[in-house]
Amino acid sequence: MLSGKFRSALVIGGQGIRARKLRTFLSMVSLFLGVLAVVAVQAGAEIAERAMLTDVELQSGKDGTVMGYVPGEKGAPGIVESTMKGRTDAVAMIGSRAIIGEPGVRPINEGGMPFEYAGRGGDYSGPMVFCDANGTCTEQKPQEKKPDGQAIEVSMVALTGDIRPFKPFRPVSGTWLEFGTAPSLAPRIVLNEEAAKGLRQYRVPGEMMIDGATHHVSPQILGVVQDGYSQPRIYMRLDELRTWMPAAAATTEVDRFRGGGTQLELYMEPGSDELQQLLKAKLAGAGIPQDQMHFQVVKSKERMESELRIMRLIFLGMAFLVLLIGVAGILNVGLATVGERVEEFALRRAVGMSRLLLAGIVLAETLLTGLLTAALAIGAGAAGLQVALMMFGSRFPSLQGTAFPWEAGVAGVIAGLVAGVLGGLIPAIRAARIPIATVMRA
């Protein structure tokens, strides 16, 4: 019986909307901006969250990834390399330093600094004092001063496999490293945006010097990626590096003191406890202390959740203020409509219509109006997002491929229903209280 009354209320409410198209249109206009504000805030929050996570993932890795740091000493690079070889569920990044350009000269961006700061540093510093763990201090000789020349310094990262399942590097141009083919004698490298900027800005020879390598190499540049780092970096396959550098250079305490040496970063899929234990056992056997091996799960979203929640609540509050203006418009139109239809509602009461059904008719009109407005607002929001991506997507690579979030659509529907209930509840109660005797006025 309730379903029959509900259906009757919807049918009669729809007939009322068709009979008063202008008033329905005015109600929708007053409500449209409020619902659109809710949709825009929800969509903006979801897109901002995804963009922020994507930028963080470029450096830290995707949420859930197990990230490890291991010192590059006492044979650790060889242990990590042999353990990770051929695995698809884990990748090792073995970092070192390389110079691209003229050999034996001082790089333009000495220390691998971003090129906007190149040439601003001072000259070579004087001697430094290094103290080991036993408290023995020795004076370090200043590094040999080299003549200025056409060369740039980059961080070189050798990979045991494809890092993109863990760090979603965004392609800028060219292609990424292909790990399914045989190693090339001329190492293939991929640049990050800062390294590509240096090669465009300075005319340097196509020769690369790698710390610890016995010969200079002539690399093949495959492409450019956005990796989230401001320092110039290059990426290459570890097996191709081994053609020119049979083993990683041993890192000493002095190297760490100077900020150099081999650096090891490990990225593993969730649930890789066995691999972690195997690596820890091998590294401990090589003499590396346990407290120097760090493994942690990436939880970027959890760290940013409170900030995102506060931002979303602030903007949702502003959106609901705009929505309340639309609710006031529906309420005003609904009260005026009920006032004009007093005789009609009294006549319906006289022929036996219940007060509940009469209130349901008025409420159904406002609910249908709210849903129609929500549909229009959601459509306008989706279309606006596509237009914005077409116009500004190239300026913001993190937004490329963004789709309209379904959460915003759900929020729009809920906002439309809430506005329909709030705007139609008082007119519905007023209509239900109309006495039957009112029909005698006609």
Taking only the tens place, the pLDDT of each residue in 157-201 is 999 999 999 998 988 899 999 988 888 888 899 999 999 999 999
Q: Which DSSP helix (H) or strand (E) runs through 313?
A: helix 300-340
> Rounded to whole angstroms, how far apart are CA atoms 413 and 371?
6
Q: What is the pLDDT of residue 430?
A: 80
Write the DSSP symbol of residue 148: B
pLDDT at 120: 63
Q: How far is CA 357 from CA 13, 47, 352, 436, 438, in A?
A: 11, 43, 10, 15, 18
| pLDDT value for 43 | 80
Query: Above 90 in pLDDT, residue 26?
Result: no
Q: Where are the domains of the chain?
A: 2-59+302-441, 66-297
- Residue 348: CB partners within 8 Å, gap ≥ 6? 358
What pLDDT does residue 258 have?
Answer: 44
- Residue 350 confidence class, pLDDT cut points 50, 70, 90: confident
Between 140-149, 237-246, 252-261, the lowest mean confidence (pLDDT) is in 252-261
Any residues with CB less than 8 A from the CB of 395 and at least 6 apart, and which?
A: none
Distance (Å, whole) CA 89 – CA 268 = 6
Amino acid in the structure at residue 53: L
Angle between helices 355-392 and 21-60 (to 10 degrees): 50
Region 393-409: mean pLDDT is 70
* pLDDT attached to residue 393: 62
Residue 101, judged by CB atoms within 10 A of its CB (0-12, 13-18, 19+), counts as buried
Helix (H) or strand (E) holding 365: helix 355-392
Distance CA 377, CA 196 (A): 43
Q: Is the pLDDT of residue 245 over 50?
A: yes
Residue 225 has pLDDT above 90, yes or no: yes
Provide φ and ψ at 342, rounded to 5°: -60, -50
Which whole number is the average pLDDT over 394-415? 74
Please say whether the beta carbons of 229 and 193 come within 8 A: no
* 193 vs 142: which has the higher pLDDT: 193
Return the top range by mean pLDDT from 3-17, 210-224, 323-337: 210-224
- In this model, does residue 142 exceed pLDDT 60? no
Tell me the backbone φ, ψ of residue 388, rounded to 5 degrees. Answer: -65, -40
Work out the mean pLDDT of the chain and round it to a whole number. 79
Q: Which two tokens stand for residue 68?
A: 């490890």
Report pLDDT for 91: 93
- Comparing 111-115, 266-270, 344-348, which segment has the lowest mean pLDDT? 344-348
- Pairing relationship of beta strands 294-297 and 233-237 according to DSSP bridges: unpaired
Across 228-238, average pLDDT: 91
Average pLDDT of the residues in 377-400: 76
3 state SS of 14: helix
pLDDT-derived band of residue 18, with 50, 70 and 90 as boundaries? Answer: low
Q: Are 246 and 209 spatial neighbours (Cβ–Cβ below 8 Å)? A: no
Q: Phi/psi at 180 (nearest 5 deg)?
A: -95, 0
Task: Supply 107's token pair.
Answer: 């790089």
pTM across the whole model: 0.67
Q: Which of these, 190, 195, 191, 208, lies nearest to 244 by C-alpha position?
A: 208
Inter-CA distances, 53 with 100, 208, 315, 398, Å = 33, 34, 20, 10
pLDDT given at position 144: 63
**pLDDT of residue 332 exceeding 90:** no
Classify 424 in phi/psi space as left (phi over 0), alpha (psi -120 to 50) or beta. Answer: alpha
pLDDT score recorded for residue 176: 94
Q: How confident is the model at residue 1 (pLDDT cuts 50, 70, 90)?
A: very low
